[in-house]
Amino acid sequence: MKADVGTDVSTTVFEQYRELMFGISYRMLGSVADAEDTIQETWLRWNRIDRDSVVDPRGYLVRAVTRTSIDQLRRAKARREQYIGSWLPEPLLTGPDSAESAARADSVSMAILVMLERLSPLERAVFVLNEVFGFSFPEVAAVVDRTEAAVRQLGRRARANVQGRRRFSAGGKETKQITERFLAACLGGDLGGLMELLAPDVTMCVDSNGRSEGGPRQPLHGARAVAEYFAWVADRFPAGIRSRYVELNGSGSGLFIVDDEVYAAFVLDFAPEPADRVEAIWIIREENKLSRIPVPPA
């Protein structure tokens, strides 16, 4: 009986911090699947230790999941160097019912996650823990096993590489309307409609890991190039394709759906001025990164 009670308490403590651990690991790795793997590995480690000796369970679990994420990120680097075309973070479903708080929504934006790819694993850990989750530099130093002075220097380098941006501030209804107009124009190959919605310096990246029908392997720049691409590809979409509005990574986004499966995910970023223009488009066609996104009801 005591063992059962101990197990229940252990599970309760772990589950209490699961959301925090996932938030750290996802921002570290840019992958829902890899974040879930690090949590599972942390759970196995949690069950192997003498938990009576753990004075601060939250600190222990944060340290364990961060160090596991650092190791995972170092291993992933070689795989990503062999990736065909643009590698993008796995999109995360967000919105009113998601676990992400409004205060931290910007830190899962696709733009921020892409910028975090510039950082070393240690810089990324320091940025996520300090800038996103508010851990003090002494706390971060204990987590990554570095001196406080070294952590402060890592933090300065990370902030220099992840420059703050002005975010589109329109309400949810306006974001939805603009996104749905964009998705309809893409499906219809509406060159004029797309030109009205795209910022002049828009950038589009496609993650398909080399799928022949996945899209351009290099980023496209400029409204004309992006609009002409969609005008060209519209006739090549599968029969019966349709779109749905969703919120991914804290931004208005859309899914293309074929036969009740996600065919592509579009994550959009909007220019602050004028506020009705799409400034960046990230398209995910890599099947493994789409498999955890549910198809929303009509």
Span 111-140, pLDDT tens digits: 999 999 989 999 999 999 999 999 999 999
Q: Spell out the domain ranges in the chain.
A: 1-82, 172-290
pLDDT category of residue 209 using cuts at 50, 70 and 90: confident
pLDDT of residue 210: 78
Is the model's pLDDT at 288 over the cut of 80?
yes
Q: How far apart are CA 278 and CA 215, in angstroms?
A: 19
CATH topology agreement for domains 1-82 and 172-290: no
Taking the C-alpha atoms of residue 228 and residue 195, their distance in angstroms, rounded to an integer, is 9
- Is the per-residue pLDDT at 110 higher than 90? yes
Please tell me the distance from the alpha carbon of residue 249 to that of residue 252, in angstroms, as a whole number.
8
CATH class of 172-290: alpha beta
81 CB-side CA count, 13 A: 6
How far is residue 143 from each of residues 18, 69, 263, measured CA to CA in Å? 17, 12, 39
* pTM to 2 decimal places: 0.89
- Sequence-ordered list of residues with C-beta below 8 angstroms from that of 57, at least 6 positions apart, any chain: 13, 17, 51
Average pLDDT over the chain, rounded to whole? 88
**Considering the domain 1-82 in this protein, what is its CATH number?**
1.10.1740.10
What are the tens digits of pLDDT across the range 141-156?
A: 999 999 999 999 999 9
Q: Measured between alpha carbons, how far is 117 from 128 in angstroms, rounded to an integer?
A: 12
What residues contact residue 107 under an 8 Å CB cut-off, 6+ apart?
27, 128, 131, 132
Q: Does residue 191 surpass a pLDDT of 90? A: yes
**End-to-end Cα distance, the chain:** 49
Query: pLDDT for 157-183, tens place per residue?
Result: 999 988 755 454 445 678 899 999 999
At 53-87, the pLDDT tens digits run 888 999 999 999 999 999 999 988 877 778 888 89
pLDDT tens digits along 78-97: 777 788 888 999 999 987 65
pLDDT of residue 175: 86
Percent of the chain topping pLDDT 70 = 89
